[in-house]
Structure 1
Amino acid sequence: MTDGSDEHQEASVNGGPRGDRPDPRPRRGFWFGLVVALVKPFMLTFTKPEFTGRENMPRSGGVVFAPNHISHFDPLVLGFYIWECRRIPRFLGKASVFKIPVIGRIISSAGQIPVYRESSQAADAFRDAVAAVERGECVGVYPEGTITRDPDMWPMTGKTGAARVALMTGCPVIPLANWGAQEVIESYTGKVRIRLLPRKRILVRAGAPVDLSAFAGRPITNELLHEATEVIMHAVAETLGELRGETPPKELFDLRKDRSNGEEKA
């Protein structure tokens, strides 16, 4: 499933020839260094990572990556992938995670960005994301906002944060697809199940930058943001389809519509 360039990239996951090249990443700091020291050995011990498409991730400059969300485990998977792309990931994450003892202190000190939903601080995450991109950082925004509820685990319709940051800053949006994390931590099945052994095959692929040229230079309205978000989410679904060897649905699962239908039936 990889071409020659991907095979060359794959070698770097386990310390291949790219390890001797100068590292263009900004200084990671103590706390992010601690995360790398903990996460990378863990991932290589308990998973079988197969990373492709890294040539699509810009090596420098502000960028937004938009991943699908299938498990509570995939932030570790995607963070590891971005690190192997020679970038430092800055995720937008639920504020509740930042309140967990020890873990919250680590991820906050490592430069991750808390999202305070439905509060007076909700806009802070957006401003912090824009500022990070303008500093030239690599910012991760989960457009779905939660783990997919699609019965076949395809991406759902998305929220407009990634599109808004991209259109305000002019930065590229990279669709990121992962598959296999749901085998390590299975979510939304009544209880959380963790299965580290046997080692699970973890696939991640970055797609080509999403073409948002049709939206450039236009007033940023809600309608425009929703149109751009639809383009982004279909790019994420197509990239996931490449990983799974399947064709994604033409119409993505709409969680709000599904909940409204459920309330009507009740």
Structure 2
Amino acid sequence: MVLPIWNLGVKYRFHGRLPLQGAFVLSPNHYSEIDPLVMGVASWKLGRLPRFLAKASLFTVPVVGWLLRTSGQIPVERHGSKGHQAIRAAEELVEKGRMVIVYPEGSLTRDPDLWPMRGKTGAVRIALEQDIPLIPAAHWGTQAIMPRYGKKISLFPRKTVDVIIGEPLDLSAYRGRPLDQATLTAATAELMDAITALLAEIRDEPAPAERWDPLQHGQKETGRLEE
């Protein structure tokens, strides 16, 4: 339904490819409310049907909620046991050889220059629990379609979005270990390093020496997937 108009307004430049078969977690950066559409279409163009962990509140929005449910997206409650039920649902998807997109930042980055901020552990947990690949990704150019916290979409004149797909993260040092907080935090830091490096490559500029941490900057986090 979206593709005909979207293709008129957005041109993709791809760097790297997705596996065409098998289950994996795809973890991109996140700095615009329209990122899921950007990466959903990107995944479709790269040959895979995207599924997301999405805020449960979105499923109550008329039309949007229906589209999310019928396309197999997964609602996530921010608090309580239902959040764990959502992760179980994601695991069922990967057991069937499907991909799932999980934003490790959990919400739009607070970094002033749109670099990735501190990550949450959900993406790493799914990959380690299910013993499946965890693939970092980054995109740039989406801010021209909808800026961070923006409300309006601009498709014309046509915009260009670069999408880079990294190599699967080497999680061999963490597999087989208890998934305690220390393990998950260390693996998540490596994931965020990989995403940041990919973004620096397509932005053609160096990343900040330190990653933005909302807790240290006194910012309240909201998100699609809580630790």
Could you say which TM-score interval applies, normalised by the shorter chain? over 0.9
Which structure's CA Rg is the greater one?
Answer: 1
- 1:45 counterpart residue number: 8
Q: Which amino acid aligns with 1:87?
A: R
- 1:238 counterpart residue number: 197
Q: Looking at both structures, which has the greater relative contact order when contacts are Cα pairs under 8 Å and sequence separation is at least 6?
A: 2
Checking the alignment, whether the CA contact within 8 Å between 1:64 and 1:141 is kept in structure 2 is: yes
- Map Cα deviations across residues 4-32 of structure 1 (whole Å, 9 max, x no partner): xxxxxxxxxxxxxxxxxxxxxxxxxxxxx
What is the aligned length? 220
The 10-residue stretch of structure 1 (229-238 or 179-188) with the greater mean CA deviation from structure 2: 179-188
Moved over 4 A (4+): none
- 2:156 counterpart residue number: 197
Is 1:77 the counterpart of 2:38? The answer is: yes
Is 1:88 the counterpart of 2:49? The answer is: yes
Q: Match of 2:137, SS?
A: strand
Is 1:222 the counterpart of 2:181? The answer is: yes
Correspondences of 1:140-179 after superposition (within 5 Å)? 140-179=101-140
- 1:26 counterpart residue number: none
- Map Cα deviations across residues 170-200 of structure 1 (whole Å, 9 max, x no partner): 1111111011111111123xx5343222111
- Among candidates 65, 78, 83, match of residue 122 of structure 1: 83
Q: Which amino acid aligns with 1:102?
A: V
Give me the whole-angstrom Cα distance separating, in 1, the residues matched to 2:152 and 2:66.
25
CA shift, 1:147, in A, is 0.7
Give me the whole-angstrom Cα distance separating, in 2, the residues matched to 1:236 and 1:42.
29
Q: Match of 1:174, SS?
A: strand
Q: Match of 1:136, SS?
A: coil
The 10-residue stretch of structure 1 (245-254 or 206-215) with the greater mean CA deviation from structure 2: 245-254
Give me the whole-angstrom Cα distance separating, in 1, the residues matched to 2:139 and 2:45.
15
Give me the whole-angstrom Cα distance separating, in 1, the residues matched to 2:219 and 2:103.
22
- Among candidates 102, 105, 115, match of residue 63 of structure 2: 102
CA shift, 1:260, in A, is 6.2
The 10-residue stretch of structure 1 (245-254 or 223-232) with the greater mean CA deviation from structure 2: 245-254
Q: Give me the CA root mean square deviation.
A: 1.5
- Among candidates 24, 30, 43, match of residue 63 of structure 1: 24
- 1:258 counterpart residue number: 217
Is 1:210 the counterpart of 2:173? The answer is: no
Identity of aligned residues (%): 46
Checking the alignment, whether the CA contact within 8 Å between 1:62 and 1:137 is kept in structure 2 is: yes
**Unaligned 5+ runs, structure 2:** 221-227
Q: Match of 2:206, SS?
A: coil
Q: Which amino acid aligns with 1:244?
A: R
Give the TM-score normalised by the residue count of structure 2: 0.92
Give me the whole-angstrom Cα distance separating, in 1, the residues matched to 2:82 and 2:215.
23
Give the TM-score normalised by the residue count of structure 1: 0.79
**Unaligned 5+ runs, structure 1:** 1-37, 262-266
CA shift, 1:250, in A, is 3.4
